[in-house]
Amino acid sequence: MKFKIVVLRGDGIGPEIVGEAQNVLNRIGDVFGHSFEYEYHHAGGIAIDTFDSPLPSDTLKACQNSQAVLKGPFGGPKWDKIENKKRPEAGILALRKGLDLFANLRPVKLYDALKDASTLKPEVIQGTDMLIVRELISGIYFGEPRGLHGEGKDRYGVNTEIYRFSEVDRIVRLAFQLAELRRKKVMSVDKFNVLESSRLWHDVAEEVSKHFPHIAFEHQIVDNAAMQLIREPRQFDVLVTTNMFGDILSDEAAMLTGSLGMLPSASIGGQVGLYEPSHGSAPDITGTGKANPLATILSAAMMLKYSFKLQRESDAIENAVESVLIAGLRTADLARKGEKTVTCSEMGAAVVKAIK
């Protein structure tokens, strides 16, 4: 089969890690008889430099007309002084919104070979296998009013957390459907004891749970969830939460896998899915070969599964990643003191070679 993918290489380490993910996809194409056609477009920091916009309208149109989007991280210190509306990050949000991607899936799975790579104790993190389902196009990231106002000591900033019934209903429903394919447990995380938007979330989640009586359902308040994640991560199967809580908890949960460099993501819900690593553009290590391409490679595996329904091919990538980790290959972020490291391209090449 033939698939058309828009590639947004991104900033910092973006081009390095996205290139490795494409090498892996090409290898999948050769082994399983598919062809992946790439179309490159500007977005993020480099698009600000060239087009004065983090998401030029041609780029969004191209993404809307593709079958899937593979994206590197956007941003870096060069664009740090720009007002929020025009920053590289604004391009990410506009892309998610423009593709109607209300669900962000972040699988947090510890590969056994990496249980000593985390700063957390191996006996605590062993067996971690959860799916964070983060609402992606509403909540405080998008709510109005927002803005910076006033002068001098009278300055203030405003953001609004708003959730509508339909927005909570669809994401929680999806979390339950995904739980059907897993260990059949859903944990909904909110702050209902303080925030009205969370009270709505809590109540709607409870209502949705009634339609899935065979799925175990619990709520946790976000501060407790943050603690439970590192206290006893094996209690989580599917964790569903708001845009901002999901952003924060997924970085925390990434450490259960050894490194933020291991956390892939799929954003779905619209016609075209978006696949990107959960981490940032790491300007400090750009061009040094120290980047870990595995989160992006695993995001490509999620593209095969969710956008192209190629489960076998997706599993082939995951198995290849697991086998190179078992063989002891470690990028800098995964290596313990004194351990030998491989570069980003060596890691990518090893995964390519391991695909059979």
Least separation in angstroms between residue 163's CB and Mg ion is 19
Q: How far apart are CA 111 and CA 50, in angstroms?
A: 40
Q: Which does 220 bind (CB under 5 to 8 A by kind): ligand IPM, Mg ion, none?
A: none
Active-site annotation holds for 191: yes
Omega prior to 145 cis, within 30 of 0: yes
Q: Kindly tell me the burial class for residue 186, based on how many C-beta atoms sit within 10 Å of its own C-beta (0-12, 13-18, 19 or more).
A: buried
What residues contact 8, with CB distance under 8 A and at least 6 apart? 40, 41, 42, 43, 44, 59, 63, 69, 70, 71, 72, 95
List C-alpha distances in Å: 202 to 178, 222, 276: 19, 12, 29
Residue of 11, 190, 247, 333 marked catalytic: 247
Active-site annotation holds for 315: no
Least separation in angstroms between residue 247's CB and ligand IPM is 4
Q: Kindly tell me the burial class for residue 273, based on how many C-beta atoms sit within 10 Å of its own C-beta (0-12, 13-18, 19 or more).
A: buried
CB 278 within 8 Å of CB 263:
yes
Least separation in angstroms between residue 182's CB and Mg ion is 23
Residue of 58, 116, 223, 315 marked catalytic: 223
CB 15 within 8 Å of CB 78:
no
Residues 211-270 binding ligand IPM (CB under 6 A) are 247
Six-digit token pair at 352? 């390519």
Site size with ligand IPM, rule: CB under 6 A: 4
CB 201 within 8 Å of CB 163:
yes
Q: Which of 25, 37, 40 is nearest to 67 (CA)?
A: 37
Least separation in angstroms between residue 160's CB and ligand IPM is 17
CB 134 within 8 Å of CB 250:
yes
Q: Which does 89 bind (CB under 5 to 8 A by kind): Mg ion, ligand IPM, none?
A: ligand IPM
Does position 20 bind ligand IPM by CB under 6 A?
A: no
Residues 230-259 binding Mg ion (CB under 5 A) are 247
Active-site annotation holds for 251: yes
**336 DSSP assignment:** P
Active-site annotation holds for 156: no
Q: Which does 92 bind (CB under 5 to 8 A by kind): Mg ion, ligand IPM, none?
A: ligand IPM
User: For ligand IPM, what does the binding mask look like between residues 261 and 280, x meaning CB under 6 A?
Assistant: -----------------x--
Q: Which is nearer to Mg ion, 179 or 298 (CB)?
A: 298
Q: Which is nearer to ligand IPM, 124 or 244 (CB)?
A: 244
Q: Which is nearer to ligand IPM, 92 or 332 (CB)?
A: 92
Q: How far apart are CA 206 and CA 267, in angstroms?
A: 24
User: For ligand IPM, what does the binding mask look like between residues 71 and 100, x meaning CB under 6 A?
Assistant: ------------------x--x--------
Q: Which is nearer to Mg ion, 94 or 354 (CB)?
A: 94
Residue of 71, 111, 141, 305 marked catalytic: 141
Q: Which of 193, 196, 245 is nearest to 222 (CA)?
A: 245
Q: Which does 190 bind (CB under 5 to 8 A by kind): ligand IPM, Mg ion, none?
A: none
Least separation in angstroms between residue 89's CB and ligand IPM is 4
Active-site annotation holds for 237: no
What residues contact 336, with CB distance under 8 A and at least 6 apart? 116, 117
Least separation in angstroms between residue 251's CB and Mg ion is 5
Residue of 97, 109, 191, 305 marked catalytic: 191
CB 113 within 8 Å of CB 186:
no
Q: Which is nearer to ligand IPM, 20 or 89 (CB)?
A: 89
Least separation in angstroms between residue 198's CB and ligand IPM is 18
Residues that bind ligand IPM (CB under 6 A): 89, 92, 247, 278
- Catalytic annotation, residues: 141, 191, 223, 247, 251
Residues that bind Mg ion (CB under 5 A): 247
